[in-house]
Amino acid sequence: MTQRIDYMQQSSALFKKFVEFNMLVKDSAIETSSLDLVSIRASQINGCGFCLDMHVKQAKLHGERELRLYHVSIWRESTLFTPRERAVLAWTEALTTLPPHGVPDEVYDSVRDELTEKEISDLTFAVMAINAWNRINVAFRAVPGTLDVPYGLTKANLS
């Protein structure tokens, strides 16, 4: 696979502002481990190999256990996730796929039982961010692993 265009170079001002937005999301009320799960699950749903590759490696560097990484796609059946993480994953899926009649009440209720309003709001921005990254990387066919060295992802030892 070859990347179609270098959007970072072609739209450098927009890219810079989006990176700034993403940094604010990382400093939000949502813990890093949940942000990692959000990025992994949305990237799986959207078929973004570049983002999935990057976020699995980042999660490993953040201390995530490998088995939990393998179980993200089967989180409903897995016993490895807390009720809070399950609510985060359900919210991520609902906002990533956007059902025809909106987010179901049961999904909202589950996230509302586990997170504060501020956390739900911040989580929503995190889901928005990864979906945007997924869309640009899928559109321009970003090649998985190409930024491992500059982002320090080789330390994850997953290559």
Taking the domains of the chain in order of start, what are their residue ranges?
Answer: 16-145
Closest C-alpha to 25, from 110, 132, 112, 115: 132
Q: Please write the tens of the pLDDT for every residue from 82-117.
A: 999 999 999 999 999 999 999 999 999 999 999 999
**Residue 55, token pair as written in the block:** 């976020």
The residue whose two tokens read 């983002």 is 51
Report the pLDDT value the prediction gives residue 111, as an integer from 0 to 100: 98
Coil, strand or helix: which one is 128?
helix
Q: What is the mean predicted confidence (pLDDT) over 7-16?
A: 96
pLDDT level of residue 159 (50, 70, 90 thresholds):
confident
d(CA 94, CA 42): 10
> pTM above the 0.75 mark?
yes
Domain 16-145: CATH superfamily, name plus number: AhpD-like (1.20.1290.10)
User: Confidence band (pLDDT; 50, 70, 90) for 18?
Assistant: very high
The phi, psi pair for 82, rounded to 5°, reads: -75, 165
Using pLDDT thresholds of 50, 70 and 90, give the confidence band for residue 1: confident
CB within 8 Å of 63: residues ≥ 6 apart = 33
Q: Reduced to 3 states, what is the DSSP secondary structure of residue 141?
A: coil
